[in-house]
Amino acid sequence: MKKLSLSELNRITPEEFIKQEKTPVIVILDNIRSMNNVGGIFRTCDAFVVEKLYLCGITATPPHKEITKTALGATESVEWEYVENVANLVHRLKQENIKVFLVEQTDSSVFLNQFPFPEEKMAIVLGNEVFGITEALLPLCDGAIEIPQLGTKHSLNVTIAAGIVLWEAFNQLKINNKN
Protein backbone atom coordinates (compact mmCIF):
# COMPACT_ATOMS: atom_id res chain seq x y z
CA MET A 1 0.00 0.00 0.00
CA LYS A 2 1.16 3.53 -0.73
CA LYS A 3 -0.40 6.89 -0.26
CA LEU A 4 -1.44 8.51 -3.55
CA SER A 5 0.20 11.76 -4.60
CA LEU A 6 -1.92 14.71 -5.75
CA SER A 7 -1.08 13.96 -9.38
CA GLU A 8 -2.24 10.35 -8.96
CA LEU A 9 -5.65 11.45 -7.64
CA ASN A 10 -6.68 12.70 -11.11
CA ARG A 11 -8.47 15.73 -9.71
CA ILE A 12 -10.76 17.54 -12.09
CA THR A 13 -10.77 21.29 -12.66
CA PRO A 14 -13.59 23.53 -11.43
CA GLU A 15 -14.68 23.90 -15.07
CA GLU A 16 -14.91 20.10 -15.43
CA PHE A 17 -16.77 19.90 -12.12
CA ILE A 18 -19.37 22.38 -13.33
CA LYS A 19 -20.03 20.27 -16.45
CA GLN A 20 -20.29 16.86 -14.78
CA GLU A 21 -23.51 15.13 -13.77
CA LYS A 22 -24.52 16.10 -10.25
CA THR A 23 -26.02 14.18 -7.37
CA PRO A 24 -29.67 15.39 -7.42
CA VAL A 25 -29.43 17.01 -3.99
CA ILE A 26 -29.68 20.67 -3.05
CA VAL A 27 -28.23 21.71 0.31
CA ILE A 28 -29.75 24.60 2.27
CA LEU A 29 -27.88 26.14 5.20
CA ASP A 30 -30.28 27.76 7.68
CA ASN A 31 -28.51 30.39 9.81
CA ILE A 32 -25.10 28.72 10.13
CA ARG A 33 -22.94 30.90 12.41
CA SER A 34 -19.46 29.49 11.84
CA MET A 35 -17.70 30.43 8.62
CA ASN A 36 -15.45 27.40 9.13
CA ASN A 37 -18.58 25.22 9.04
CA VAL A 38 -19.76 26.98 5.87
CA GLY A 39 -16.39 26.35 4.21
CA GLY A 40 -16.39 22.72 5.31
CA ILE A 41 -19.85 22.20 3.86
CA PHE A 42 -18.73 23.76 0.57
CA ARG A 43 -15.94 21.20 0.46
CA THR A 44 -18.33 18.35 1.28
CA CYS A 45 -20.73 19.53 -1.45
CA ASP A 46 -17.80 19.46 -3.88
CA ALA A 47 -16.78 15.95 -2.80
CA PHE A 48 -20.26 14.54 -3.37
CA VAL A 49 -21.04 16.74 -6.43
CA VAL A 50 -24.25 18.26 -5.11
CA GLU A 51 -26.53 20.18 -7.43
CA LYS A 52 -26.50 23.50 -5.53
CA LEU A 53 -25.84 25.07 -2.14
CA TYR A 54 -28.08 27.80 -0.71
CA LEU A 55 -26.82 30.03 2.10
CA CYS A 56 -29.69 31.56 4.10
CA GLY A 57 -30.25 34.01 6.92
CA ILE A 58 -27.12 34.86 8.91
CA THR A 59 -25.03 32.31 7.01
CA ALA A 60 -21.91 34.04 5.72
CA THR A 61 -21.09 34.02 2.02
CA PRO A 62 -17.85 33.93 0.05
CA PRO A 63 -15.51 35.57 -0.42
CA HIS A 64 -14.30 35.50 3.16
CA LYS A 65 -10.96 34.22 4.45
CA GLU A 66 -12.55 31.93 7.09
CA ILE A 67 -14.75 30.25 4.47
CA THR A 68 -11.91 30.08 1.95
CA LYS A 69 -9.58 28.50 4.53
CA THR A 70 -11.79 25.43 4.99
CA ALA A 71 -13.42 25.32 1.53
CA LEU A 72 -10.03 24.89 -0.18
CA GLY A 73 -11.33 26.19 -3.51
CA ALA A 74 -14.78 24.57 -3.39
CA THR A 75 -16.42 28.01 -3.52
CA GLU A 76 -15.22 28.09 -7.15
CA SER A 77 -16.68 24.71 -8.11
CA VAL A 78 -19.95 24.40 -6.16
CA GLU A 79 -22.87 26.41 -7.48
CA TRP A 80 -24.22 28.54 -4.63
CA GLU A 81 -26.64 31.35 -3.97
CA TYR A 82 -27.55 33.52 -1.00
CA VAL A 83 -31.26 33.75 -0.13
CA GLU A 84 -32.11 35.80 2.94
CA ASN A 85 -35.38 34.10 3.89
CA VAL A 86 -35.16 30.32 4.12
CA ALA A 87 -38.97 29.87 4.25
CA ASN A 88 -39.35 31.77 0.96
CA LEU A 89 -36.71 29.51 -0.58
CA VAL A 90 -38.50 26.37 0.62
CA HIS A 91 -41.78 27.68 -0.86
CA ARG A 92 -40.03 28.37 -4.18
CA LEU A 93 -38.44 24.91 -4.32
CA LYS A 94 -41.77 23.25 -3.48
CA GLN A 95 -43.41 25.19 -6.35
CA GLU A 96 -40.75 23.58 -8.57
CA ASN A 97 -41.91 20.16 -7.25
CA ILE A 98 -38.71 19.64 -5.27
CA LYS A 99 -39.22 17.75 -2.02
CA VAL A 100 -37.53 19.37 0.97
CA PHE A 101 -36.33 17.41 4.00
CA LEU A 102 -34.90 18.71 7.26
CA VAL A 103 -31.90 17.11 8.93
CA GLU A 104 -33.37 17.32 12.41
CA GLN A 105 -34.64 15.29 15.33
CA THR A 106 -38.45 15.48 15.29
CA ASP A 107 -41.32 13.34 16.51
CA SER A 108 -41.70 11.95 12.97
CA SER A 109 -38.13 11.92 11.64
CA VAL A 110 -36.86 8.89 9.69
CA PHE A 111 -33.47 7.47 10.59
CA LEU A 112 -30.94 8.09 7.84
CA ASN A 113 -30.24 4.37 7.40
CA GLN A 114 -33.96 3.85 6.65
CA PHE A 115 -34.43 6.90 4.42
CA PRO A 116 -34.77 6.11 0.70
CA PHE A 117 -33.30 9.07 -1.20
CA PRO A 118 -35.56 9.79 -4.19
CA GLU A 119 -33.98 9.72 -7.64
CA GLU A 120 -35.55 13.06 -8.52
CA LYS A 121 -33.98 16.27 -7.24
CA MET A 122 -34.53 16.94 -3.55
CA ALA A 123 -33.31 19.44 -0.96
CA ILE A 124 -31.98 18.96 2.55
CA VAL A 125 -31.93 21.72 5.16
CA LEU A 126 -29.20 21.88 7.79
CA GLY A 127 -29.82 24.13 10.77
CA ASN A 128 -28.05 26.43 13.17
CA GLU A 129 -25.31 24.95 15.35
CA VAL A 130 -27.16 25.79 18.59
CA PHE A 131 -30.85 26.07 17.74
CA GLY A 132 -31.20 23.65 14.81
CA ILE A 133 -33.77 24.25 12.10
CA THR A 134 -35.94 27.38 12.15
CA GLU A 135 -39.19 26.20 13.76
CA ALA A 136 -41.35 27.79 11.04
CA LEU A 137 -39.87 25.36 8.48
CA LEU A 138 -41.28 22.22 10.10
CA PRO A 139 -44.78 22.42 8.56
CA LEU A 140 -43.36 23.50 5.18
CA CYS A 141 -41.13 20.50 4.61
CA ASP A 142 -41.85 16.98 3.39
CA GLY A 143 -40.19 15.26 6.34
CA ALA A 144 -37.15 15.03 8.54
CA ILE A 145 -34.06 12.85 8.37
CA GLU A 146 -32.39 11.94 11.65
CA ILE A 147 -28.87 10.61 12.06
CA PRO A 148 -29.11 7.80 14.64
CA GLN A 149 -26.96 8.52 17.70
CA LEU A 150 -26.51 6.59 20.92
CA GLY A 151 -24.20 8.86 22.93
CA THR A 152 -25.12 11.37 25.62
CA LYS A 153 -25.14 14.47 23.38
CA HIS A 154 -27.48 13.49 20.52
CA SER A 155 -25.92 16.31 18.58
CA LEU A 156 -23.32 16.54 15.82
CA ASN A 157 -21.40 19.46 14.37
CA VAL A 158 -23.31 20.69 11.31
CA THR A 159 -20.36 19.99 9.01
CA ILE A 160 -20.18 16.39 10.26
CA ALA A 161 -23.95 15.98 9.88
CA ALA A 162 -23.74 17.32 6.32
CA GLY A 163 -20.98 14.86 5.51
CA ILE A 164 -22.89 11.88 6.89
CA VAL A 165 -26.16 12.72 5.11
CA LEU A 166 -24.51 13.67 1.81
CA TRP A 167 -22.39 10.50 1.86
CA GLU A 168 -25.56 8.41 2.22
CA ALA A 169 -27.28 10.34 -0.59
CA PHE A 170 -24.21 9.93 -2.80
CA ASN A 171 -23.99 6.26 -1.89
CA GLN A 172 -27.63 5.58 -2.76
CA LEU A 173 -27.91 7.81 -5.83
CA LYS A 174 -24.50 7.76 -7.52
CA ILE A 175 -22.43 4.77 -6.43
CA ASN A 176 -25.16 2.13 -6.14
CA ASN A 177 -26.81 3.21 -9.41
CA LYS A 178 -23.60 2.67 -11.35
CA ASN A 179 -23.39 -1.01 -10.42
The span from the CA of 179 to the CA of 177, in Å, is 6
- Please, what is the average pLDDT of the chain? 94
CATH code for the part of the protein at 15-147+154-178: 3.40.1280.10
pLDDT < 70 positions in the chain: 176-179
Q: What is the pLDDT of residues 90-134, one digit of tens each?
A: 999 999 999 999 999 999 999 999 999 998 999 999 999 999 999
Instruction: Supply the pTM of this predicted model.
Output: 0.94
Chain centre to alpha carbon of residue 95? 20
Task: Give φ, ψ of 150 to 5 degrees.
Answer: -120, 0
Length of the chain equals 179
Domain locations in the chain as residue ranges: 15-147+154-178
